[in-house]
Structure 1
Amino acid sequence: MAKCDRCGEQESMPYQCRLCGGTYCSKHRLPENHDCPGLENWNDPGGVFDSGFDDSVDQTGRAGSSGLADKVPVDTGPGGFFGYFRGNVAFTLLALMWLTFLLQYLVAPALGFPAYSQQWFDLFTINTHEPLAVWTWVTSVFAHGGFGHIVLNSIVLYFFGPVVEKRIGSAKLVGLFVAAGALAGLAQVGAALLTHPAWYGEPLTGATGSAVLGASGAIAALMGVLTVLNPNLRIYLYFVLPMPLWLATLLFAGYSIFVSSVGGIGAGGVAQLAHLAGLGIGLLYGAKLKREGERAPRQLKFGGGGPGGPGGPGRRRGP
């Protein structure tokens, strides 16, 4: 027996929607009967879909008379190369994380920027030396502080990312991921500068400075969105331990708050404040989606130590 995501009726032979992945009874099995968010993607008589990245695409599936598509025509239809990225942006973000990881530890050192040098920090992290370097607001989200750090974040993004993408669309997922990650890092570094204003503009050393990198803040935002949409969503921590998502989120937030109160916002080399900032952004955005009628699945399996894990969203230097 399965429960209909729309009306809650128990159904012995449930239907799964091919657009949104939800489970429905016979009455609500059709996409138009459960207000399927995927209908917006498939309402395209021309057969060429709006990629979600170009607002100039009109109802016929052709680019309008203005916008980037006039200069660089892109076929996002099912037969084109870029059609693969339709609905798979979460995996694209995952690939960008690993590409950035290779740039950090292979390409940059080969070009004369050793890992954890000042130049390296200024390229890949939001830090107290150059907090207004705008490019780092993006690069820091995809960069990571080590192999274990990126593996744990990758596991959680692999499972949470596609679920959120199905509900809000590819373009909004990218916006949420990058914006939440950047704001989480800025919150961490901003707090460090408020408590240590002398760090501003000073090179990062073992005694001074703070730097943040990693996707943990962004992933915590995805966790917050799903927590609001379906707090009783069942997850399997380490693929074994079942618990409702609201409990996992509460434990995650409680741990970050406790550690911060004892050892500071960067206790254990983990940017605890960035975790909490990302989670807060996700909870607020999830509340907005809930008011608009978004839904989430009933069960999800994932592994890893939760968003961030050891290393948090970034390496923190200094006390």
Structure 2
Amino acid sequence: MAKCDVCGQQENMPYECRHCGGTHCGEHRLPENHGCSGLHDWNDPKGVFNSGFDDSVNSSAEASTTEKIASKLPFDTGSSGVLGYFRGNMTYTLLALMWLTMAAQFLAYSIGGRELHETLFTLSTANPTYVWTWVTSVFAHSPFFIIGAQGPEGSIFHIVFNSIVIFFFGPLVERYIGSRDFAILFVVSGVLAGIGQVGLASLLGEPSSVLGASGAALAIIGVVTILNPDLRVYLFFVLAMPIWVLAAGTVAISMLFIVLGSPGAGGIAHGAHLVGLLIGLAYGEYLKRTRNFRVPSQIQMGGGGGPGGPGGPGRGRGPF
């Protein structure tokens, strides 16, 4: 529970202003509605603060370059349009980038075969100095379209499973730490997880390659685990358990395969999973010590009035 700085109302899921850092209820979440100190820093002779929620408000007589470009696009770029789902919702933006990257993987393989695909997207012990793959490998996933691919490499469920985890848990974390910090958490944890996998395999003298956002997804799980370890989740949508059990099970399985097998046993990057989860746990502990909030006892998903357009993080119809 947190108290709105304006009206004192107790809120289970408060809004934190990105401009002044205050805590507010839904009625006072906009900068215009809580006398945001950021209003004084906005160079607007009319005193109107463009919060990004009202498309009719302009900060100056001259529209920004971005606004000019957006106005010429053949579709609605406002909060009621298709892009409304992505405004203020970094989770959806990252998910879209993952699937667009999958399309780019298919194109690269069609043009240059496996060699070009691995050069552009795969972080491995064979090419650790290809620094661009440190990032591209986070958004890329198992190339199931490659002829002859077997096991996890040949399964579309890799990207589907990661998308499900990020879709359900991402908005919950993003709401509390903000879109910018959420994007940083996602990319940094994904990169470090991939480097950790390759580094561990190199130390053991084993070849290994990394693709996918599993490390970033598990970092998100780690954050939620620390903030509310008793949050009830459903493994494979069937088996109910507290999220701390899921996290502990992931650590145990990853450690078991690393110790008894290898970091990449079964075609799965167990080292990356472990590193990503540990990063999330550490960051969650930092948030718990420095910020006064808790996640709810269950995840609410569905239509509703979350920030950034219809369907964003907000009120839901039923628990996941």
Normalised TM-score (structure 1): 0.69
Aligned pairs for 1:112-127 (under 5 A) are 113-114=112-113, 117-127=114-124
For residues 94 and 257 of structure 2, what CA distance do their matches in structure 1 show? Answer: 29
Answering whether residue 7 of structure 2 is matched by residue 42 of structure 1, we say no
Answering whether residue 239 of structure 2 is matched by residue 237 of structure 1, we say no
> What's the counterpart of residue 188 of structure 1?
197
- Structure 1 residue corresponding to 2:178, chosen from 169, 188, 193: 169
For residues 273 and 85 of structure 1, what CA distance do their matches in structure 2 show? Answer: 32
Rate the CA distance shift 1:257–1:286 in 2: closer, same or farther, 3 A. Answer: same
**SS of equivalent to 1:227:** helix
Answering whether residue 138 of structure 2 is matched by residue 141 of structure 1, we say yes
Aligned pairs for 1:1-319 (under 5 A) are 5-6=1-2, 28-29=10-11, 35-36=23-24, 42-44=30-32, 46=48, 48-49=50-51, 62=59, 72=66, 78=79, 84-105=85-106, 107-111=107-111, 113-114=112-113, 117-145=114-142, 146-196=155-205, 209-291=207-289, 292-300=291-299
Report the alpha carbon displacement of residue 131 of structure 1 after superposing the two structures with TM.
Answer: 1.0
Partner AA of 1:295 in structure 2: R
Rate the CA distance shift 1:97–1:273 in 2: closer, same or farther, 3 A. Answer: same
Rate the CA distance shift 1:281–1:62 in 2: closer, same or farther, 3 A. Answer: farther
Normalised TM-score (structure 2): 0.69
Rate the CA distance shift 1:254–1:100 in 2: closer, same or farther, 3 A. Answer: same
**Residues 46-105 of structure 1, C-alpha deviation per residue, up to 9 Å, x if partnerless?**
352269xxxxxxxx9849xxxxx9764588974787654233221121111111112212
For residues 85 and 121 of structure 2, what CA distance do their matches in structure 1 show? Answer: 28
**SS of equivalent to 2:10:** coil
Report the alpha carbon displacement of residue 253 of structure 1 after superposing the two structures with TM.
Answer: 1.0
Rate the CA distance shift 1:39–1:103 in 2: closer, same or farther, 3 A. Answer: farther
Report the alpha carbon displacement of residue 189 of structure 1 after superposing the two structures with TM.
Answer: 0.7
Rate the CA distance shift 1:276–1:36 in 2: closer, same or farther, 3 A. Answer: farther
Report the alpha carbon displacement of residue 239 of structure 1 after superposing the two structures with TM.
Answer: 2.1
For residues 88 and 288 of structure 2, what CA distance do their matches in structure 1 show? Answer: 21
Rate the CA distance shift 1:37–1:211 in 2: closer, same or farther, 3 A. Answer: farther
Partner AA of 2:157 in structure 1: G
**Residues 255-280 of structure 1, C-alpha deviation per residue, up to 9 Å, x if partnerless?**
11112111111111111111010001
Structure 1 residues not aligned, in runs of 5+: 8-16, 18-25, 52-59, 64-68, 197-207, 303-319
Counterpart contact for 1:239–1:301, Cα < 8 Å: no
For residues 129 and 65 of structure 2, what CA distance do their matches in structure 1 show? Answer: 32
**SS of equivalent to 2:230:** coil
**SS of equivalent to 1:92:** helix
Partner AA of 2:136 in structure 1: T
Rate the CA distance shift 1:27–1:209 in 2: closer, same or farther, 3 A. Answer: closer
Percent of residue pairs bearing the same amino acid type: 46
For residues 178 and 25 of structure 2, what CA distance do their matches in structure 1 show? Answer: 8
Partner AA of 1:43 in structure 2: P
For residues 259 and 37 of structure 1, what CA distance do their matches in structure 2 show? Answer: 46
Counterpart contact for 2:197–2:272, Cα < 8 Å: yes
Report the alpha carbon displacement of residue 42 of structure 1 after superposing the two structures with TM.
Answer: 1.9
Rate the CA distance shift 1:242–1:104 in 2: closer, same or farther, 3 A. Answer: same
Counterpart contact for 1:188–1:265, Cα < 8 Å: yes
For residues 297 and 29 of structure 1, what CA distance do their matches in structure 2 show? Answer: 11
Counterpart contact for 1:217–1:277, Cα < 8 Å: yes
**Residues 154-187 of structure 1, C-alpha deviation per residue, up to 9 Å, x if partnerless?**
1111111111111111111111111100110001
Structure 2 residues not aligned, in runs of 5+: 16-21, 34-47, 71-76, 143-154, 302-320
Report the alpha carbon displacement of residue 123 of structure 1 after superposing the two structures with TM.
Answer: 0.6
Rate the CA distance shift 1:35–1:70 in 2: closer, same or farther, 3 A. Answer: closer
For residues 277 and 52 of structure 2, what CA distance do their matches in structure 1 show? Answer: 30
CA RMSD of aligned residues (A): 3.4
